[in-house]
Structures are given as C-alpha cells and as structure tokens.
Amino acid sequence: MRHVDFSPLYRSTVGFDRLFTMLDTLAQPDGAQTYPPYNIERTGEDSYRISMAVAGFSDEEISIEAHRNVLTVKGERKEEGNGEGSELLYRGIASRAFERRFQLADHVDVVGATLKNGLLFVDLKRNIPEELKPRKIAITASSAKAKQIEAKTAA
C-alpha cells in the first residue's frame, strides 16, 4: 500500500492553519533536509514568525527573497583562512551553504527580518483585503401592511 507523504508541504507552509492541524500527525521522512533547523510559530491572529538557527552566518552572508508566494532564505559562508601555520584538526561547526524555501499562503507578506545571537527571525503578516473579508448583512423586517387589490362588483 502506498502512502502520500505531505510532510514537506507541512514543513514549508505558512498561513495554512487548517493544513497544520490535519498534517500534525504525519511523521517526518528520514531523508529530509534538516539544516538549518527552524521553527514556525504563530505570534498573533494574523502574524507568524520563522526562526532559523544560522550560527556563524553574518547578515551579509544571508539573503531573503519573497517572490510569488515563495519565501527563499539562502546562506553562503565565505571561506575563512585559519592563519599562517595553523591546521584545522576537527570541523564541528557547519560552514555549508543552505537554501530553504517556504510556501506562503495568499496575502501573507514579509514584514521584516532580524539576525540576533545566531538566530534569524523572519516576521510575516497576513493582510486580507477588505473585499475578501466576510461582511455582516443586516436583515430588515418587511412591513406588515400589504396592498390588497379589490375587484369592483357589478351593480
């Protein structure tokens, strides 16, 4: 029996709240990209925040682009010289480039991004246009007076 794996869609969407709850029970695949780790959180009624752990990257080495409902975060570290006569014995700090893509729902805009203490925070806001918001329709009572048409009787 074949199963459809929706977890990549779940991990890279923002603003699809019902989809989050439906797909919450699915397990993450073992071969999925895990670097850099990130969180997606809801910070208000229509606001979200993506937090990414990008330790070792400066703000010049990270680029953020939003285009057609896709948010792309790229990071590329510049090669560091260890200095004359030094030798690297063990590399435990990741210096690899990364690219993460997040599918944004309609009317979700990037408000801003900050880099603080090795964490990149991308703030998002859902701006629903007035014409798409539900509106309340007033109900008016009909008048009880009804016109009655009477036929004249012949005399």
Instruction: Please check the confidence at residue 92 and state whether its pLDDT lies above 60.
Output: yes
Greater confidence, 99 or 1? Answer: 99
Distance CA(92)–CA(99), nearest Å, equals 20
Report the pLDDT averaged over residues 61-77: 90
Which residue is listed with tokens 């030798």? 87
Instruction: Please check the confidence at residue 14 and state whether its pLDDT lies above 90.
Output: no
What pLDDT does residue 116 have? 92
Give the model confidence (pLDDT) of 32-43 as tens digits. 567 888 999 999
Give the model confidence (pLDDT) of 93-151 as tens digits. 767 788 888 888 888 889 999 999 989 999 999 888 877 778 888 888 876 665 666 66
Distance CA(8)–CA(141), nearest Å, equals 52
What pLDDT does residue 123 have? 94
The number of C-alpha atoms within 13 Å of 139 and in the hemisphere containing its C-beta is 1
What pLDDT does residue 155 have? 59
Instruction: Please check the confidence at residue 30 and state whether its pLDDT lies above 50.
Output: no
What pLDDT does residue 151 have? 66
Instruction: Please check the confidence at residue 28 and state whether its pLDDT lies above 50.
Output: no
Greater confidence, 76 or 34? Answer: 76
Those residues whose C-beta lies under 8 Å from the C-beta of residue 43, and which sit 6 or more positions away, are: 49, 123
Which domains does the chain possess? 7-78+92-130 (2.60.40.790)
Q: What is the mean pLDDT of the chain?
A: 77
Q: How many helices (H) and strands (E) does the chain have?
A: 2, 8
